[in-house]
Amino acid sequence: PVFAGMNGSAIENFSCVIYNISFMNCTWQAGRGAPEDTQYFLYWKNLRDDDVMECELYIQDENGRNTGCRFHNVSIETEKAYFMVNGSSKDSLI
């Protein structure tokens, strides 16, 4: 099933950069319509791999909201990887 979140609650400007071969930084901005208590969680996996990896070290803004992630020991073995950011809030679907 597809769950529809509240309009404007999805993250914006998501990007990831790999550097020094095995480090990856991902960043995003909170949705402009997201409630203040919204928290985001990042997961990624390689195309051919079943293991889903959650962020090991979140980057937070001044309100304690996750707005990025630092990964180390990253190995993207194929040209494709999948990323998912889940959002949660007490008040709304994100």
In the chain, where are the structural domains located?
12-30+39-89
The model's pTM is 0.85
Label residue 78 by pLDDT band (50, 70, 90): low
Kindly state the tokens that stand for 54: 């959650």
**Distance separating alpha carbons of residues 51 and 9, to the nearest angstrom:** 27
CATH number, domain 12-30+39-89: 2.60.40.10
pLDDT at 3 over 70: no
- Which of 6-15, 43-52, 80-89 has the weakest average pLDDT? 43-52
Q: Where are any strands of DSSP class E within the chain?
A: 12-19, 23-29, 39-46, 53-54, 57-60, 66-71, 81-88
Which amino acid makes up residue 55?
C
* Residue 2, pLDDT score: 59
List, for residues 27-42, the tens digit of each pLDDT value.
999 999 999 999 999 9
Distances (CA, A) of 94 to 1, 33, 59: 15, 10, 20
Residue type, 31: G
